[in-house]
C-alpha cells in the first residue's frame, strides 16, 4: 500500500539577516562607485600640471657657461641673466652693464649661442634686473621709452617668456614699479593683438614668512595694472639662518614657499582672479641658491635639493629654478673644495659626483614654460637658414657670409681661435691642427667647441694683421715653397705647398695654397 499524495504547498521564505547586510553593503558600494565615476566626469577634478625646471645662467660671468650645448634635459630650459640699464646710455638695455646687445653678439657670441640652444630643442628666457645694476623700469622715466627698451630685448631673442628679478633698491621705487607694470601690460596687449603671447614671471625675495611688504606690493601693482602674471618666483635664499644636519635649509625653503603660496592666492583673489589651491601652486616658483649662499652660515646641500624636489612634486609648483648653472660643480684648485665666500664658477661645497640641476629637476618637466612660436622665420639673429649644399650633398661654406675664417685641415689654430665649418662656428679649446671640428682628437678629446650656427647678416670678421716687415711682402712673381710665410696688406699667410702667382686669401678650385696665420700660431 502506498502513501497518498499531498497537495503542493508554497515554500516558506526564511530571511537571512547576514545576506541582507551583504546586499546592502554591495548596493551602497556600487552606488558610491557610480556616483564617484559620474562626479569625476561632470566636475573634471583639477589635476595640476607638472612643475617646470629652469636654471639661471649668469651670462657675463667668467669663464662663460656653455648653455648652448646642454649636457642633459635639465639644462634645456635656461634663464639668461641679467639685462639692466646701460650705465652710460641710461634707458638702453645691456647685459650686466658690460655689453650692449650688439656687443654681446660680437664679444660673447650671445645671439649665436641662443640659436644653438634652440637647435638642440632647448629654450631661453631673459631675466631683467637682479641684485646689481639699475633695472630698466627705474632707469627709463618715460613709459614709452621703457616699452621700447623691453621690446628690443624681446624681439632680438624672440622671447615668449621673460623674468623680472626685482630686489634691493628696485623694490623701493614706487614710480618705477608703476611704469614697469604699465609697460609690461602694453607689451602683452601688443603680443596678443599679433596672436602671440608673453609669459611674465616675477622673481622676488622671500623670508620664511613669505614675500616682504615691498615684494607683495610689486605683485599687486602688476595685477592692478592688468598684467597677466604667469607666476611669482620666490628667491628662497639668504634667509640669515644657521643651517646644519638637524636644521637643514630645505625646511626654511619649504616654509617660505608655503607662505608665498598663501600670499599669491590672496593677491590674485584681491585682483578679482580666484585661484584654487592647485592653481595657486602653479603660480609659485622656488629658486634656491645652491651650495654656499651669500650668508656664511647658510648652505644649501644636495640633500636639501632632494627635499625641495619632492616637495615641488607633491604640491606641483609652477617652476623650480636655481642660481646658477655656472656654480653647479665642486670648486677645484687653486680654490679649496669648501668655501664660505660665494664663487661664480663653483658651489663652495663638496658635491661629489652629484649635480644640483639633476637632483632639483628629477621627475619635473624640463620643457619650456611657453611653447616657441610657430610663426614664419624672420630675419632676426635667432633664425637659422638652411645650409647650402654642394654636388655631393656636403655643406658649402661661403667666405663672404662666414663671420670667421673657414677651417683648413692644414691650418694651425691656437686655443681660442674661432673658425667656420659646415655653417657652424667652432672655437679651439687648445692648439690644434688637422682635427675636423666636431671630431675627437688624439685620446678621444675634442679640440673644438661648438659655439653655434652661422646667422643671417653675418659678415667676415677682420683678418689678423702684423706689422709690416714681420714677414716679406707677397710677390706674384716669386715662387713659394711649403712653410714660407708672407704678408699681404699686413695679413700673414703660410704656404701649404709650392705656388707662384696665386694670391693669398683668394679662394681657388682645389683649395688655396695659402693658409691664414692666426695670432699665436
Residue 20 has pLDDT above 50, yes or no: no
Residue 516 corresponds to which cell in the numbers above?
691664414
Residue 65 has pLDDT above 50, yes or no: yes
Q: What is the mean pLDDT of residues 114-141?
A: 96
How does strand 299-300 pair with strand 291-292?
antiparallel
Residue 68 corresponds to which cell in the numbers above?
648652448
Mean pLDDT, all residues of the chain: 87
Whether 319 is in a domain gets the answer yes
What pLDDT is attached to residue 197? 96
Residue 5 has pLDDT above 50, yes or no: no
Same-domain check for residues 295 and 421: no
Whether 292 is in a domain gets the answer yes
Residue closest to 418 by CA, chosen among 375, 376, 378, 452: 452
Whether 413 is in a domain gets the answer yes
pLDDT tens, residue by residue, 409-420: 989 999 999 999
- Placement of cell 624640463 in the chain: 366
Same-domain check for residues 86 and 145: yes
Q: Are 50 and 365 in contact (CB under 8 A)?
A: yes
- How far is Cα 232 from Cα 73, in angstroms, rounded to an integer? 24
Instruction: State the number of CA atoms in the 13 A half-sphere of 277 facing the CB.
Output: 5
Same-domain check for residues 295 and 344: yes
Q: What is the mean pLDDT of residues 296-320?
A: 97
What pLDDT is attached to residue 394? 65
More confident of the two residues 376 and 257: 257
Q: Based on the structure, what is the number of domains in the chain?
A: 3
> Which of 310, 345, 361 is the last residue in one of the domains?
361
Residue 517 has pLDDT above 60, yes or no: yes
What pLDDT is attached to residue 511? 82
Whether 472 is in a domain gets the answer yes
Whether 493 is in a domain gets the answer yes
More confident of the two residues 147 and 26: 147
Q: Could you write out the DSSP letters of every residue in 448-460?
A: EEEEEE--TT--P
Q: What is the mean pLDDT of residues 50-65?
A: 92
What pLDDT is attached to residue 318? 97
Same-domain check for residues 448 and 497: no
pLDDT tens, residue by residue, 138-175: 999 999 999 999 999 999 999 999 999 999 999 999 99
What pLDDT is attached to residue 443? 80
Same-domain check for residues 191 and 329: yes
> Which of 461, 478, 508 is the last residue in one of the domains?
461
Q: What is the mean pLDDT of residues 7-17?
A: 40
What pLDDT is attached to residue 508? 81
Q: What is the DSSP letter of 48?
A: P
- How far is Cα 119 from Cα 464, in angstroms, rounded to an integer? 31
Residue 31 has pLDDT above 50, yes or no: no
Residue 274 has pLDDT above 90, yes or no: yes
Print the domain residue range for 453: 392-461
Same-domain check for residues 88 and 131: yes
pTM higher than 0.75: yes
CATH code where residue 399 lies: 2.10.10.20
Whether 378 is in a domain gets the answer no
Whether 471 is in a domain gets the answer yes
Amino acid at each position: 500500500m502506498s502513501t497518498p499524495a499531498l497537495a503542493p504547498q508554497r515554500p516558506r521564505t526564511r530571511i537571512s539577516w547576514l545576506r541582507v547586510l551583504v546586499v546592502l553593503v554591495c548596493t551602497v558600494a556600487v552606488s558610491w562607485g557610480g556616483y564617484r565615476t559620474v562626479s569625476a566626469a561632470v566636475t573634471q577634478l583639477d589635476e595640476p600640471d607638472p612643475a617646470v625646471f629652469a636654471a639661471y645662467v649668469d651670462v657675463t660671468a667668467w669663464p662663460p657657461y656653455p648653455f648652448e650645448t646642454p649636457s642633459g634635459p635639465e639644462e634645456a630650459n635656461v634663464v639668461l641673466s641679467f639685462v639692466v640699464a646701460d650705465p652710460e646710455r641710461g634707458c638702453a638695455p645691456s647685459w650686466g652693464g658690460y655689453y650692449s646687445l650688439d656687443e654681446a653678439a660680437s664679444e660673447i657670441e650671445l645671439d649665436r649661442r641662443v640659436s644653438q640652444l634652440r637647435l638642440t630643442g632647448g629654450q631661453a628666457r631673459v631675466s631683467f634686473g637682479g641684485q646689481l645694476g639699475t633695472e630698466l623700469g627705474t632707469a627709463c622715466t618715460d613709459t614709452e621709452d621703457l616699452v621700447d627698451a623691453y621690446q628690443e630685448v624681446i624681439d632680438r631673442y624672440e622671447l615668449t617668456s621673460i623674468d623680472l628679478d626685482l630686489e634691493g633698491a628696485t623694490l623701493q621705487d614706487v614710480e618705477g614699479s608703476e611704469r614697469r607694470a604699465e609697460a609690461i601690460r602694453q607689451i602683452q596687449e601688443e603680443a596678443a593683438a599679433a596672436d602671440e603671447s608673453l609669459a611674465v614671471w616675477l622673481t622676488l625675495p622671500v623670508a620664511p614668512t613669505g614675500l616682504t611688504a615691498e615684494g607683495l606690493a610689486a605683485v599687486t601693482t602688476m595685477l592692478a595694472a592688468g598684467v597677466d602674471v604667469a607666476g611669482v618666483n620666490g628667491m628662497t635664499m639668504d634667509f640669515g639662518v644657521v643651517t646644519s644636519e638637524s636644521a637643514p635649509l630645505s625646511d626654511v625653503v619649504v616654509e617660505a614657499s608655503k607662505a608665498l603660496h598663501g600670499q599669491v592666492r590672496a593677491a590674485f583673489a584681491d585682483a578679482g582672479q580666484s585661484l584654487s589651491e592647485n592653481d595657486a601652486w602653479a603660480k609659485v616658483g622656488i629658486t634656491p641658491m645652491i651650495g654656499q649662499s651669500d650668508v656664511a652660515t647658510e648652505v644649501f646641500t644636495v640633500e636639501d635639493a632632494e627635499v625641495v624636489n619632492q616637495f615641488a612634486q607633491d604640491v606641483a609648483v609652477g617652476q623650480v629654478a636655481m642660481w646658477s648653472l655656472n656654480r653647479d660643480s665642486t670648486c677645484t684648485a687653486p680654490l679649496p673644495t669648501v668655501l664660505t665666500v660665494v664663487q661664480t664658477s663653483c658651489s663652495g661645497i663638496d658635491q661629489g659626483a652629484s649635480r644640483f640641476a639633476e637632483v632639483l629637476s628629477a621627475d619635473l618637466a624640463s620643457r619650456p614654460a611657453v611653447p616657441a612660436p610657430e610663426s614664419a622665420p624672420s630675419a632676426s639673429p635667432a633664425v637659422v637658414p638652411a645650409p647650402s649644399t654642394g654636388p655631393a650633398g656636403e655643406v658649402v661654406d661661403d667666405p663672404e657670409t662666414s663671420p670667421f675664417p673657414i677651417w683648413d685641415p692644414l691650418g694651425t689654430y691656437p686655443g681660442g681661435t674661432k673658425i667656420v665649418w659646415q655653417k657652424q662656428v667652432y672655437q679651439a679649446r687648445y692648439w690644434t691642427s688637422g682635427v675636423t671640428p666636431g671630431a675627437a682628437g688624439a685620446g678621444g678629446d675634442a679640440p673644438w667647441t661648438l659655439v653655434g650656427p652661422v646667422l643671417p647678416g653675418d659678415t667676415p670678421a677682420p683678418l689678423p694683421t702684423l706689422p709690416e716687415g714681420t714677414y716679406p711682402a707677397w710677390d706674384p712673381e716669386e715662387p713659394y715653397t711649403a712653410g714660407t710665410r708672407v704678408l699681404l696688406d699686413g695679413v700673414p699667410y703660410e704656404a701649404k705647398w709650392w705656388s707662384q702667382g696665386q694670391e693669398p686669401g683668394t679662394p681657388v678650385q682645389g683649395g688655396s695654397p695659402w693658409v691664414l696665420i692666426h695670432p699665436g700660431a
